Amino acid sequence: MTCPYPCPQLVRKHRMSLDGPWRFIFDEQRKFRQSSDITEWPLDVIADITRMSSSHIHGGV
């Protein structure tokens, strides 16, 4: 069984995983000052923070 956290000795009692879907928008014209100003999020990405962290720690994949 593998732990989804890259450093089990550093696990905190209360932590929030950043893995999963994230909505985003490219704002090259800098129209939005706050995320609450955005009414439509046209793009999304699936973040796998654990995999990226562990591959970096172990020298890449």
User: How confident is the model over 13-24, as pLDDT tens digits?
Assistant: 777 778 889 998
Residue type, position 43, single letter: L
The pLDDT of residue 35 is above 80:
yes
State the Cα–Cα distance between residues 7 and 16, nearest whole angstrom: 15
Q: Is 54 exposed, middle or buried (0-12, 13-18, 19+ CB in 10 A)?
A: middle
Q: Which residue has the higher pLDDT, 19 or 1?
A: 19
Max avg pLDDT among 41-45, 46-50, 54-58:
41-45
Mean pLDDT of the chain: 75
Q: Token pair of 16, please?
A: 């929030």
Chain-centre distance for alpha carbon 12: 18
Q: Token pair of 12, please?
A: 């905190």
pTM of the model: 0.48
